[in-house]
Amino acid sequence: MSTSTLFSLDDFPVGCMVTDNKRRILYSNRYIEKYYGYSVSGLVGADLFTLLSQASQIIYEAYIVPLLLQETCCDEIRLTLVTPSKGKVPVSVSAFFDGSSDGNVYWSISSASRSDQLFEELTETKKLLEQKVSVLRTLSDTDPLTGLPNRAALTKYLDHKMLDRKRSVMAFALAFVDLDGFKEINDRYGHHVGDKVLQFVAERLANNLRSDDLIARFGGDEFVIFLNGRFSAGLVEESLTRLISKLSETISIGSMHLKLSASIGVTLYPQAKEVQPDQLIRQADQAMYQAKLAGKSQVCLFNIDNEVVQKEKYSELLAISSAMEADQFELYYQPKINMRTGEVFGVEALIRWNHPVEGLKGPDTFLPVLSNTATGLALGRWVITKALCQLQIWLQKGLDLQISVNIDGYHLQHPQFLRDLSVILSDFPRLPKQRFEIEVLETSTIEDVSHVYSVLNACRLMGIRISLDDFGTGYSSLSHLRDLSVDTLKIDRSFVKNMLTSSSDLAILKGVIGFARAFECGLVAEGVETLEHSQLLMELGCECGQGYYIAKPMPARAFFAWIDEWYQTEFQAKYKTHSFKTKE
């Protein structure tokens, strides 16, 4: 219904007025201005008593108000208006109280001398007025863009459905839908195109759900679906997966053909424990967030048993996301050296969190929660970009180094990893790719091994070096080495730490060194913490290492001072004053 239709009350043959519970006039039509001399602008906001005689004020307080509170309406009450031009004028008024918290009263006012003749017209006017009130109420519960019920209407509907909690037959599923890729469409093509996309989505939702299911626009590109009936987890996931398929179909707007998808979280009702309507919405929202983290374009069922864990994880992820926006993360760099010659040939980039309250935090305190999350992927991209920026700066200043970053298995398995890496590298066109190294955490759970191998081989074709980190700690070490061409093996710090006292660890370490020779790989030992570690490693044939004996990880700003000191005095003090034997 158009706006002009809503305000056609000026055409009514009677005065129409709306007041609130403080007697303030909220609306007046032109009839009152024309026949009683009050301007519409002058009445809005004025006290109703400015229109009534003293006797009519008493009637209002003593009779009309109690009657409206008890029966919500009153008809044909005789009052006297005090008008600017005609003095006191008898009128016949009817009123309707809508029962809302605002206490709005809807009035019709006509000449008392004509009330009998206009009875039928007034009756019709009342009906029309009630229709207008109904339309206004409907508009307050409707999203103007899509025509769907809005957030307020959804809340009322949920409250109503859950009011009688004793009805055991009552059951439903609540699904929270968030569009994947909508922001990019909105940013690229503008809000007018974004609005059309939302209208298309609303229509597709309506066309692919049952008539007794409620679809509401929750806000932005978020929708909530109320699925009536008792559902099993499998059935509701199957149904919503089909819906995702429909939402993923191309949207054509003029000459544009747009693609997006949706992530859906769903929760079921009733539940074993009492739950409030807003809790149900939060549950579905949390499940939707998990669907996003799992790769988008999928359905995730809310797990009640893991609710506390998920809340804590969600809170941690939000904190990490906020820290990224606040630029609180920093890369520290730990040197890699040739222990025999003293050459500093590379550094490993290690992330730190400069927490405003807890101080400097190491990766072990925050990386575990990021596993298999979108936030973790975003932080991984940040690490690569930041490391490449630093490498470029050092190369421009004459430091010819390799720089390595740790990449977890779930990053490599993500379908967009190679594309994202290529985009990042395109920002550094003159950077020699062979100076950049990916350290694959060997102990990571890699489900799609063949895919990861193809990704790493593609990286090697681009010139990027590949290193197997923590080599020897997992059962798959040999298969990795057999099936994947790598440039470097890194001996896990646990073997280096205990090789001086543990014969078994020493045997494993010797075996790793033998593998490196057999497969013609470079070799770097982690965890070099004492001179004795360095001596034994070189005797066994491993000349390259990193660890606290050489240097702790340091911020980039401290690296130039350290490397100067290393070449001038530190290497001489730590290594050249001692004699080393070479393993024959």
Q: What is the pLDDT of residues 164-212, one digit of tens each?
A: 655 556 688 999 999 998 988 988 899 899 999 999 999 999 888 887 8
pLDDT tens figures, 248-307: 999 998 888 998 899 999 998 888 788 888 888 989 998 998 888 788 889 998 877 666
Maximum mean pLDDT: which of 135-144, 203-212, 391-400: 391-400
Distance CA 342, CA 148 (A): 71
Tokens of 414: 């993500």
Reported as type and span, the H/E element at residue 61 is none
Q: At what angle do helices 277-293 and 307-325 cross, to 10 degrees?
A: 60
Distance CA 225, CA 206 (A): 10
Residue 242 φ then ψ, to 5°: -65, -40
Residue 34 burial (CB count, 10 A): 11
Distance CA 494, CA 21 (A): 76
What is residue 48's predicted lDDT score, i.e. its pLDDT?
93
Distance CA 314, CA 317 (A): 5
**More confident position, 85 or 579:** 85
What SS3 string covers 374-395?
Answer: HHHHHHHHHHHHHHHHHHHHHH
Rounded to the nearest integer, the mean pLDDT of the chain is 85
Gyration radius of the chain's alpha carbons:
37
Reported as type and span, the H/E element at residue 268 is strand 261-269
Query: Is residue 122 predicted with pLDDT exceeding 70?
Result: no
Maximum mean pLDDT: which of 121-130, 144-153, 300-309, 337-346: 337-346
What is residue 584's predicted lDDT score, i.e. its pLDDT?
39
Check if the beta carbon of residue 377 is closer than 8 Å to that of residue 580: no
pLDDT tens figures, 31-59: 888 888 888 888 999 999 999 999 999 99
- Please state the rounded mean pLDDT for residues 522-551: 93
Q: Would you mind telling me the total number of residues written for the chain in this entry?
A: 584
What is residue 87's predicted lDDT score, i.e. its pLDDT?
85
What is residue 446's predicted lDDT score, i.e. its pLDDT?
65
What is residue 2's predicted lDDT score, i.e. its pLDDT?
39
For residue 195, how many C-alpha atoms fall within 13 Å in the half-sphere facing its CB?
Answer: 8
Check if the beta carbon of residue 318 is closer than 8 Å to that of residue 286: no
What is residue 379's predicted lDDT score, i.e. its pLDDT?
95
Question: Which residues, listed in sequence order, are joined to residue 81 by a DSSP beta bridge?
Answer: 52, 89
What is residue 549's predicted lDDT score, i.e. its pLDDT?
95
Distant-in-sequence, close-in-space partners of 308: CB < 8 Å, separation ≥ 6: none
Question: Which residues, listed in sequence order, are joined to residue 215 by a DSSP beta bridge?
Answer: 225
Torsion of CA 61, 64, 66, 69, to 10 degrees: -130
Reported as type and span, the H/E element at residue 237 is helix 233-247
In order of start, what are the domains of the chain with their CATH numbers?
3-140 (3.30.450.20), 151-302 (3.30.70.270), 321-555 (3.20.20.450)
The C-alpha angle 410, 413, 416, rounded to 5 degrees, equals 110
Tokens of 440: 């694959």
Check if the beta carbon of residue 528 is closer than 8 Å to that of residue 545: yes
pLDDT tens figures, 470-482: 665 554 445 555 6
**More confident position, 577 or 583:** 577
Query: Is residue 484 predicted with pLDDT exceeding 70?
Result: no
Calculate what percentage of the chain has a pLDDT beyond 70.
Answer: 86
Distant-in-sequence, close-in-space partners of 130: CB < 8 Å, separation ≥ 6: 96
Residue 72 φ then ψ, to 5°: 70, -5
- E-strand ranges in 392-521 read 402-407, 436-441, 465-471, 488-491
- Please state the rounded mean pLDDT for residues 78-102: 86
- Please state the rounded mean pLDDT for residues 78-100: 87
Identity of the residue numbered 15: G
Q: At what angle do helices 417-426 and 449-461 cross, to 10 degrees?
A: 20
Query: Is residue 543 predicted with pLDDT exceeding 50?
Result: yes
